[in-house]
Structure 1
Amino acid sequence: MERTTFEGQWSSARNVISTNCDQRPNGEVSLLLIHAISLPPGQFGGDAIEALFTNQLNSQEHPFFAEISHLRVSAHFLIRRDGECLQFVDTDRRAWHAGRSCWLDLSRMMWRTALNDFSVGIELEGDDVTPFTKAQYQTLVAITQWLMIRYPLLDKSRITGHAHVAPLRKTDPGPAFDWAYYYQQLGT
């Protein structure tokens, strides 16, 4: 569904409001963090991810939901298996997606924490073992290109996976994510 573009909203995304965000501190977006999520784990489709990001997850629907329904998390975008994109948080605001993590900023030669302060989070509906779809890569590439225009500090060296910034607690987007294909499609 096409809609009017606001500065931090991608025009091809369906807007779903999450309150799990706040103002970014000073500084420009300079990191793209790619995640993967499926709810319940290993299952695709349904509205559980949307419910989680909007604090409406029913803890009674699945045993795993009881473990996570208290979380207040979000990402800027979710890309479903069919390539549909939902946007939960304006990219000029801070979504709550990275958790405890750190990233080596090679341009500054220093480790950085508080990644939500300067990153955009994109969730792909998926898991560690199921290949992502061509439609998902197409949408991810389109969003990435839009973000790279919007935020000039973003380049290929500033795109990473959740597992790379939180390796002791996260595995996503996992080995099923084809980084070479993504970068090839991204070009530049």
Structure 2
Amino acid sequence: MDADQAASVVEEGSSILGDLYTEITSSTLNIALLVAILILVYKIFKGRSDDDGDTAVKVDPPLPKMKKQDMTLEELRKYDGTQADGRVLCAINGRIFDVTKGKRFYGPGGPYASFAGHDASRALAMFQTDMVKDEWDDLSDLDSSQMESVREWDAQLAEKYDVIGRLLKPGEEPSNYSDDEDGEKSKDD
């Protein structure tokens, strides 16, 4: 490459940069977009270099596994995530689940917070989070597709969360669970 060709390449390169600069600065929208891009790039690289934990989601240490026990609705209401240990329980289809692992969903401020400490069966059957009741609900007025929905939710929660026990009907006696049982009734029942 001789000197004339080199000068032509340099001239062409500076012409492209000049045209790019002129295009960017010719519109306030282009300038605003460039500033936004620079800020985002800065935040991306700044976030990678900071390891102070401020941006990390804080996760509470897991609570010990809860002892198997049956509960009345009144007892269940105590486990709405607002007590000192923050445990969250909800009942579906007569079974009580420890949903504390999903506290960001079921705990205070979560999208399903109304289920915490309650029987969520009706709300899940109707696909309405505000349908939880404060009294015993036998679900006898639900149709077959709604009951199927309740059973599906029950199965999904059983895969993800521990079953604590049964939700007791008014006047029903609790089962006695031994310490080594995994939710089954003890042999002396």
TM over 0.5: no
TM-score by length of 1: 0.25
| Larger relative strand fraction | 1
- Rg bigger for which structure? 2
TM-score by length of 2: 0.25
